[in-house]
Structure 1
Amino acid sequence: MPPLPYVLDNTLGAAFVGMTVAAVLHGVSCVQAWYYFTHQSDRWPIKSLVAAVMFFDTVHQALITHTVYSYTITNWGNPIILDELIWSLLVEVLFNGLTALLVQSFLTMRVWRLSSRNYLLTGLTALLVIAEFACVIAFTGLSLGLKTFSRLANLEALSITVNALAAAGDVLIAATLCTILHRSRTGFHRSDTMINKLILFSVNTGFLTSLCAVGSLITIVVAGHTFLYIAFFFCIGRLYTNSLLATLNARKMIRGSADGIHSTSDNLSFSLRDLPKNGTVTSSKRPTNISIKIDTTKEFAMDRDSDQELDNDKTMHCTVGQLCYVLLWSSFVVAN
C-alpha cells in the first residue's frame, strides 16, 4: 500500500502565507518607525520603547523566515522533516511575546493615567498582560525540549491559554480606553472631534490584535493538526507594532483638529434711557444712559504632557466675576 500523500496547503502553505503577510506588515512598521524617529520629538523612554519593539519585531521576522526556509528549501523533498520541530519556530514565540508585553504595558500605563489611577482596573489589565507573558515563557521553555509536532500537541492547552489571555487583554484595554474617552466628552465640537478620533484609534488598537488572537485561538482548537493557527500567530506581533506606531504618529493630526484655545464671546448690551422722571429718582447726578455689556468667554485648551502622549485636559472659564459686578451695578443704579 503506497504511503498517504502529505498535505502541504494547510501546513507549509499556511506558514508561508503567514510569513508573507507578516513581512508586508513589517515593511509598513519600518516606514512608520522611520517617520516616528524623524518627525516626533518624544523623550528617551518612549523612543527606547519604540526601538525595543522594532528590534523584537525584526528578530521575530528573521526567525519565521528561517523556519519557512528550513522546511521548504533546506529540506525540500524530505517529507520526514514535516513532523520535526525547527528551533526557530519555537523561539519566535518568545519574541512575539516580548513585543506584545511592551505594547500592552504601554497601553496599560495609558489606562492608569486616563482612569485617574484606578488601581482595580489597571491591576486587572496588568494581571492579564503579565499572565500572558508568563505563559509565553512557560511554553517556550517546555517546547525547546521537544523534537516532534506530535509531542508538541501536549502543550496545546498552554498555547490556547496564551491566545485567550492575549484576546482578553486587548479587548479590556480597548473597552476601557473607549469608555474613559466617551465619558470625557465636553459638548464642544472641537474637543468632541478629537475624542472621537482617539476612540477610533483605541478601537483599532484592540480590535485588530484581538481579531488575530481569536483567529489563532479558533484555528488551534478546530484544526490543531494544521499550521493555520501559526499563520495568525506570525502576524499578531506586527499588528501590535503597527498599532503602537500608528497611535504615536497620529498625535499631531489629532491635535491639529482641536489644538490651541478656541474662544467665543457673546455680547449682551442694553441701555437704560430716560429713567422715570416722576417721584423715584432723587439723585442729581442721575445717569441718562447706562450701557451694560456682558462678556462670556468659553475656552478649550489641550494640555501636552511631558512625553507628548495623547492625554488631554479640557478647561472652560466663564467671567463670572464680571457678570456679578455688572448685575450688582445695574441693580444699584435702578434702585437709586
Structure 2
Amino acid sequence: MATAATPTLHVDLSGTFGVVFWAFVVSTVLFGVSVVQGYFYYMHNRDSASLRLFVALMLTLDFTTTALSSQSLHDYLIINFGNPFALLYMTKPYISEYIVTGIVTILSQLFYASRIHLIATNHYVRWVIPVAIGLLAFAAFGFAIASTIQIFRTERLISALQYDRMKILAGLNTGLAALCDIVATIAMCLFLASRKTEYKQTKSIITFLLFITINRGLLVAVAQIGFLTSYVSAPSKIYWMPFHLSVSKLHVNTLLAMLNSRSSLRSKTEVTQWRNDTSPTTLASPASKFSYDDRSAMTFADNRHSNMPVFRHDPEIDNDSSSNV
C-alpha cells in the first residue's frame, strides 16, 4: 500500500537572509584583518597607556559586533529553523549590533578629529575643524539612538523598516556620519597638501600620509553611502546589510592601519637621519633645515611628538665624519 508523501515547507531565503549570510562572511574576514592589525600594533608600538587602551576598546567593540551578528544568524537559522514567522522580526542581538556599530563609528571619528587638532598649526583650523567633526559625529550617533527607539516602537518588525519615519532617521544617521568622514578626510588632505617642502624624503612621507588618509575616507564613505542608497531604495530586501556590517570593521581597520603606518615612517626617517649624521654636512644641509612644519606631517596618527625621530645638526659629529673621509 502506497503511503502519501509528507508535505514539506520550502522557504527560499536567498533573496533576503542569504544576503545577510554572505554579509556576515565578509564582515568576519574584515574582523580577522582587525585582529592581525591589532597584533602588529601591540608588537611594534609603545604608545601611552591611554592610546593602547583605546585600541583595545575598539578591538573589543569590533569583536562584539561580530559576536552579535553571529548570534542573530543562530537565532534565525538554527533556533527558529522551519519557523517562517520568526523571519518577520529583528532579533535583539541585531539591534544591539546596530548600537555598537554607532559607538565604533563615533569613537573613530572623534579620534580622527583629535589627530587634526594635534597636528594643525593654524589656530582656526586647530579648533573649528575638530569641533565641526565632533558635532557631526554626535548628531549622527543621536539619530542612531533614535532609529533604535523607533525599531522597538514598531515591535521589531522587519516590514517597519520601509516606513517613512524609519527611512528619515536611518538616512540622517548614515548621511551625517558619511558627511563627518568626508569633512575629516578633506581637511586632513588640505592640511597635508599645504606642507610644502623642497626635500624629497619629506615629500615621500607626505604622499604616504595622503594615500592613507584618502583610502580611509574613501572606504568608509563608500560603505556608508552604499548603505544609505540601498536602504532607501529597498529597505525590506536587506540588500543594505553588507554595507552596514562592514562599516564598523572599516573604521577599526583604517584606524589601526593609520597607527601601524608610523613604524614605516619611523624606519624611513631613521635611515635618513643615519645618512645625514655619518656624512659630511654643512649648516645649510637638509638635516639642519628640517623644520617643525616638516616634522608635523609625520606626527599624523601619533599622540606624542617625541615618538618620532627628530633631525638635528651636530657639528662635532659632522667634523669627525668628514675627517674620516
| Residue from 237, 240, 246 that aligns with 2:248 | 237
Separation in 2, partners of 1:216, 1:169: 16
Does residue 131 (structure 1) correspond to residue 139 (structure 2)? The answer is yes
Among 94, 100, 103, the alignment partner of 1:98 is 103
Give, in angstroms, the shift of residue 152 of structure 1. Answer: 3.7
Aligned pairs for 1:163-242 within 5 A: 163-242=174-253
Task: Name the structure 1 match of 2:40.
Answer: 35
Give the Cα separation in 2 of the matches to 1:307 and 1:136: 29
When residues 314 and 41 of structure 1 are mapped into structure 2, their CA distance, relative to the original with a 3 A threshold, is: closer
Greater fraction helix? 2
1:18 equivalent in alignment to 2:23: yes
Give how far 1:230 is off: 1.6
1:255 to 254, 259, 266: 266
Alignment partner, residue 284 of structure 2: 296
Contact 2:269 2:309 survives alignment (8 Å): no
Q: Is the 8 A contact 1:193 1:258 kept in 2?
A: no
TM-score by length of 1: 0.78
1:156 aligns to 2:164 (yes or no): no
Contact 2:205 2:265 in 1 (8 A): yes
Instruction: Give 1:70's aligned residue.
Output: 75
- Whose radius of gyration is greater, 1 or 2? 1
CA deviations 1:187-207 (Å, max 9, x no partner) are 210000000000111111111
Instruction: Say if 1:128 and 1:315 are closer, same or farther in 2 by CA, change over 3 A.
Output: farther
Extract unaligned runs of 5+ from structure 1.
268-294, 320-336
Q: Distance in 2 between matches of 1:110 and 1:234?
A: 26
CA distance in 1, matches of 2:29, 2:135: 32
After superposition, the C-alpha distances for 1:194-248 in whole angstroms (9 at most, x for unaligned) are 0000011111111111110011011011121211112210111000011111111
Q: In structure 2, what residue type is equivalent to 1:149?
A: I
Partner of 1:143: 151
* 2-structure distance, mates of 1:204, 1:298: 30
- Describe the SS at the equivalent of 2:240: helix
| Counterpart-to-counterpart distance in 1, 2:307 and 2:281 | 30
Are 2:51 and 1:46 equivalent residues in the alignment? yes
Letter in 2 for 1:181: L
**Can you give the 5+ residue segments of structure 2 that lack an aligned partner in the other structure?**
1-9, 316-325
- Kindly indicate whether the alpha-carbon contact (under 8 Å) linking 2:108 and 2:252 is maintained by their aligned counterparts in 1: yes
Kindly indicate whether residue 316 of structure 2 is the aligned counterpart of residue 307 of structure 1: no
Q: Secondary structure at the match of 1:126?
A: helix
Contact 1:18 1:230 in 2 (8 A): yes
Q: Using a 3 Å threshold, how does the CA distance of structure 1 residues 112 and 311 change in structure 2: closer, same or farther?
A: farther
How far apart are residue 38 of structure 1 and its match? 2.0
Mean Cα deviation higher: 74-83 or 242-251:
74-83
Summarize the Cα distance change of 1:187–1:313 in structure 2 as closer, same or farther, 3 Å threshold: farther
Deviation at 1:10, TM superposition (A): 2.9
Displacement after TM superposition at 1:120 (Å): 2.2
Distance of 1:23 and 1:248 partners within structure 2: 22
- The one-letter amino acid paired with 2:28 is A
8 Å contact 1:193–1:257 — kept in the other structure?
no
Give the share of equivalent positions with the same residue, in percent: 25
Structure 1 residue 314: Cα displacement: 8.9
How far the C-alpha of 1:258 sits from its partner, in A, is 3.0
Q: Deviations for 1:107-127, whole angstroms, at most 9, x for unmatched residues?
A: 011122233342222221111
Structure 2 distance, partners of 1:16, 1:236, is 16
What is the identity, as a one-letter code, of the residue corresponding to 2:222? Answer: L
> How far is 1:185 from its partner?
2.5
Amino acid at match of 2:167: E
**Which one-letter code corresponds to 2:152 in the other structure?**
L
> Does the 8 Å contact 1:167/1:209 carry over to 2?
yes
Aligned residues: 288
1:153 deviates by 3.1
Comparing 107-116 and 244-253, the one that deviates more: 107-116
Query: Which letter maps to 1:148?
Result: L
Q: CA deviation at 1:312?
A: 7.6
